[in-house]
Amino acid sequence: MAQKKLLGYNIRLKGEEVSYGVFREYLEIAKRADDAGLYYLAFPEFFARFDPRRLHVVPYMAAIAAHTQHVKVGFDVLQVPLLHPIHIADIGSSLDIMSNGRFVLGVGTGYFPPEYENFGIPFKERGRRTDEALDIIKKLWTEPALYEYRGKYFTLRNVCSPPTVQKPHPPIWVGGASDAALRRTAQYGNEWAAVAMNPGKVMGRREEEEWDIRERLERLKEYCEKFGRELVLGREPREPKEVGYNQRIDANINPDKEKAVEEMRHFWVDIRKERSSPGIYPAFEQKLRYAAVGDAETVINKLEELYKTGAYLVTIYPSSTDSKTQWQRIEKEVLPCL
């Protein structure tokens, strides 16, 4: 029997405002998603940006977890170098306990230099800091206590974190498509969370960064073999030695494609223009090439193509300020077809 195709949804808050009323609206979306059998709710995290205001993801995710029972909740993604690994381990343990074992630690290194400047952390060190932090986090989650750790960036003595519900630890999903991201997935992660893809290509952060998905998966397989692990496609990983693969895609579902494109443009260009920066973030036209835009059938066909690449899960990022309508269309027109 073929495994059911799984769907995720980005539960970001609206860009125009942050208020109790908006939070309640998103809480209702999360409850409906849980009742509808959605697999995963993704929570983006950004720090110290001149960007649309948003609730801090940790209390927001905890509130959503407390009002749902089945759907997984996770960072998509947490920029590991901007936080201390003890902090991340404690947050992860707490969220895993509060969700009764539904937490996912999605991790990335970030791509926005001003964010690192605000934290006083060298941007060029972000990859090496991430590796060392993930090593510490896994030790804190799997050992009774970390009695001593001496690395390049962190020196720890006599620390511990609450025991996690999931064993040996909550799954770690690594974002990005560079060689470093694939190596990091094989060395520390449980899944590769590929970012903004179409059936044949992986989109990078810059116009010239575009990889062939088959080549990237073959490269990931090589790294898995190097670390004594196995890449599995088309299903969730079932044991620690296995490494899975999932995808995300920007989407706007609207029977009028011109309106869908305009909603997406408003979201990415008008609302989020403060963080747009040539050479750092993809231009709207580039994002549009990779997005699923149009009626439900068009979006479903795009999802089916993505599943055929070997991803068992695709997470939809609604490119619209009207997330409620986007979710209603997903719930009524997309989920029943998977």
The CATH topology of domain 6-283+291-337 is: TIM Barrel (3.20.20)
Residue boundaries of the structural domains of the chain: 6-283+291-337
313 DSSP assignment = E
Rg of the chain over all Cα atoms, to the nearest angstrom: 19
Residue 13: phi, psi to the nearest 5? -80, 160
Residues of the chain with confidence (pLDDT) below 70:
1-3, 14-16, 48-52, 196-209, 273-282
Q: Which residue has tokens 């902090």?
A: 87
User: Could you tell me the sign of the dihedral formed by the alpha carbons of 78, 79, 80, 86, in that order?
Assistant: negative
Q: How many CA atoms lie within 13 A of 93 on its CB side?
A: 19
pLDDT of residue 269: 83
pLDDT of residue 47: 74
pLDDT of residue 113: 87
E strands in 151-238? 155-159, 172-175, 191-194, 201-203, 210-212, 230-231
> CA-CA distance, 237 to 38, in Å (whole number)?
18
pLDDT of residue 198: 46
> CA-CA distance, 253 to 295, in Å (whole number)?
5
> CA-CA distance, 17 to 196, in Å (whole number)?
26
DSSP 77-139: -EEGGGS-HHHHHHHHHHHHHHTTS-EEEEEE----HHHHHHHT--GGGHHHHHHHHHHHHHH
pLDDT of residue 195: 76
Q: Where are the alpha helices (DSSP H) in the chain?
A: 20-35, 57-66, 85-98, 113-119, 126-142, 179-188, 213-226, 257-265, 284-290, 296-308, 323-329
> CA-CA distance, 268 to 8, in Å (whole number)?
20
pLDDT of residue 83: 95
Pairing of strands 201-203, 210-212: antiparallel
Which of left, alpha, beta for 105 (phi over 0: left; psi -120 to 50: alpha)? beta
- Give this prediction's pTM: 0.93
What six digits make up the tokens of 201? 């290509």
Q: Is 283 helix (H, G, I), strand (E, B) or coil?
A: coil
